[in-house]
Amino acid sequence: MSTWEATGVGSHPGEDHLEAIKLVFGEVPGLPYLPELPARGVGADMVGRTAALLVELPVEVQPSGWRLSDRPGRDHHRAVEHLRRDLDGLEEIGHDYTGPLKLQVCGPWTLASSIELKYGDKMLSDPGAVRDLTASLAQGVADHCAEVRRRLPGVTEIVLQLDEPGLPGVLNGTVPTASGFGRLAAVEEWRVEDSLPLFGRPVVHCCAPGVPFGLLRRAGAQGVSVDAAMLRRRDEDALGELFESGMPLFMGVVPGRDTRLPDASRIARPAVELWRRLGFSPDRLASQVVLTPACGLAGASPAYARAALAACGKAAQVLRDDPAND
């Protein structure tokens, strides 16, 4: 079971990577993470940033989006440079840090739904291309994690988060073709289950409706990260099985965009009420629920991003100190 309590999802506003890293280490010291700054442009977005990690699968930007290319070009190099600069900043700010660290990458199924083949549809349309992409990503992520460990020797555990907002659409057959006039065929659950262990035991983040909790539990995920507002009563049997297995749930309880934040008890309420309905012992709540913003903070103001992370930390204190009262 985790003792992480609170963390962020990944993206932050602005273009100052050093300031974002300082903010993360200051506000969620129990599970800091390497923030992403998509406002910097091409190569700093979720897909481009992760594509920079791919081994022997260079990409480029076309009018329709990211596409495989014959050789690394300007777009690929720009994405690599953004990531290198972020790692330099992480080393500068966290050089004496000891504890767990979270890294986020776009998961293989959302990536395959977003990158096009050189002369054809999205990679998701070709099972062989998806296998190649998944293997390339797994190797690139392993290399990325190894580099972070070299730069920050005090890191005791790397918590890998796979961002998979497109996963429900992949499983339900609702991903549009590259032309937009059709839909790609649904992917069998066993294919998704088989792909996950290539990344060790990741936390899978999905802020879309229809999170496949049972599939992720069977596939050996370390945890699942969701927007609490997307949870429905029909999800609760699967959530009960997830908690029964000891897995943590990362619950997005703070809006990702500027708003007036309520007090910590009210922020913690969705977690407390869910736990109560499922009938688990109150003393397990704080060890199995990690509070986060509902999704990334890229659309927020810098001041709100700080307040949102601080609010998650204060709400986690409520879970730990008095889980029976909300």
Domains annotated for the chain, with CATH where assigned, are: 17-321 (3.20.20.210)
* Residue keyed to tokens 């481009």: 48
Distance CA 285, CA 268 (A): 11
What pLDDT score does 48 carry?
Answer: 93
* Residue keyed to tokens 């996963």: 167
How far, in Å, are 47, 191, 235, 258 from residue 242 at the CA level?
29, 20, 11, 32
Cβ 49 vs Cβ 73: under 8 Å = no
* Residue keyed to tokens 């974002």: 20
What pLDDT score does 180 carry?
Answer: 84
What pLDDT score does 321 carry?
Answer: 82
Q: Which two tokens stand for residue 203?
A: 């936390």
Low-confidence ranges of the chain (pLDDT < 70): 1-3, 322-326
CA angle 25, 29, 31 (to 5 degrees): 105
Q: pTM of the predicted model, to two decimals?
A: 0.94
What pLDDT score does 199 carry?
Answer: 97
Q: How far from chain centre, in Å, is Cα 199?
A: 13
Best CA proximity match to 319, nearest among 262, 255, 251, 257: 251
